[in-house]
């Protein structure tokens, strides 16, 4: 489906032609629900690829997961671009947010992160920003794997640098415990 969607879009008419006359019954929410399901499938593929990773450092596991999630395959990139355009429609904001957060959670799960509480939330918010910028870079220039990996490395280094600055400042006053 992704190869066809990359060429013709994520419309329900394309789904019916590819999967048969009753395929629309699987996605009563329309194209946005179809795109969400495909993005979820991409997340599952990433989780499977990361299943037996032996990388010791968490940051390197996150890096690996990002690179697995955004492959150099032009048909996947084209389908993702068209899918993202469906989710960027004004009425599909919730679907976009759900899809992005599912992917961010899947990346942390693939990286075997076991944080909880405030750390859990801040890690996901930080990675959400990283993932959004990496996703846009990948859509524009994803055919060059080395350049994509270097871009991911720079974004992850920015997050680590922010953590070091926060530590030097002694944390943030608004996060102090009473």
Do 127 and 86 meet the contact criterion of CB atoms below 8 Å apart? no
CATH number of the domain that 130 lies in?
Answer: 1.10.357
Per-residue pLDDT at 168: 66
Residue 174 lies in a domain: no
Per-residue pLDDT at 17: 87
Residue 175 lies in a domain: no
Q: Check residue 57 and report its DSSP letter.
A: -
Residue 129 has pLDDT above 90, yes or no: yes
What is the total count of domains within the chain?
1
Residue 174 has pLDDT above 60, yes or no: no
Residue 171 lies in a domain: no
Residue 98 lies in a domain: yes
Do 78 and 7 meet the contact criterion of CB atoms below 8 Å apart? yes
pTM of the entire structure?
Answer: 0.87
Which residues constitute the domain of residue 115?
2-166
Q: Check residue 114 and report its DSSP letter.
A: -
Do 103 and 39 meet the contact criterion of CB atoms below 8 Å apart? yes
């Amino acid at each position: 489906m992704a190869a066809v969607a990359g060429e013709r879009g994520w419309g329900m008419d394309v789904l019916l032609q590819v999967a048969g006359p009753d395929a629309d019954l699987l996605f009563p929410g329309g194209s946005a629900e179809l795109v969400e399901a495909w993005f979820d499938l991409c997340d599952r593929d990433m989780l499977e690829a990361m299943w037996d990773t032996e990388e010791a450092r968490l940051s390197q596991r996150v890096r690996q997961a990002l690179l697995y999630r955004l492959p150099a395959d032009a048909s996947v990139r084209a389908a993702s671009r068209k899918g993202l355009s469906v989710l960027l429609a004004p009425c599909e904001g919730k679907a976009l947010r759900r899809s992005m957060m599912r992917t961010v959670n899947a990346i942390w799960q693939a990286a075997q992160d076991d944080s909880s509480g405030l750390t859990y939330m801040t890690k996901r918010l930080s990675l959400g920003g990283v993932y959004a910028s990496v996703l846009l870079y990948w859509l524009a220039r994803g055919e060059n794997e080395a350049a994509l990996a270097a871009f991911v490395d720079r974004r992850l280094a920015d997050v680590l640098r922010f953590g070091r600055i926060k530590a030097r400042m002694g944390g943030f006053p608004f996060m102090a415990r009473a």
